């Protein structure tokens, strides 16, 4: 018995978010990328800058 190949990331939160937004998996790739990668990177950069400017915060 062969299992089907899943090409889209399957996660409960992803399915819930896509369902609440009323979009398809294909339409949701760009917004999910922005939420999970770009915002995380921006937050990390902002935290690094704040820690360089104010080392006593660490």
Q: Which residue's structure tokens are 């978010």? A: 17
Listed range (5-9, 31-35, 51-55) with the worst mean pLDDT: 5-9
Instruction: Give the separation between CA 22 and CA 40, rounded to whole angstroms.
Output: 24
Instruction: List pLDDT tens digits, range 23-43.
Output: 888 888 888 888 889 999 999
47 or 25, which is more confident? 47
CB 57 within 8 A of CB 50: yes
pLDDT given at position 48: 95
Residue 47: per-residue pLDDT: 95
Average pLDDT of span 33-57: 93
With tokens 């990390």, the residue in question is: 44
pLDDT surpasses 90 at 10: no
């Amino acid at each position: 018995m062969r299992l089907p190949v899943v090409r889209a990331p399957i996660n409960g939160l992803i399915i819930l978010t896509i369902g609440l937004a009323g979009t398809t998996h294909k339409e949701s790739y760009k917004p999910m990328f922005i939420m999970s990668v770009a915002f995380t990177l921006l937050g990390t950069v902002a935290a690094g800058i704040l820690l360089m400017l104010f080392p006593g915060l660490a």
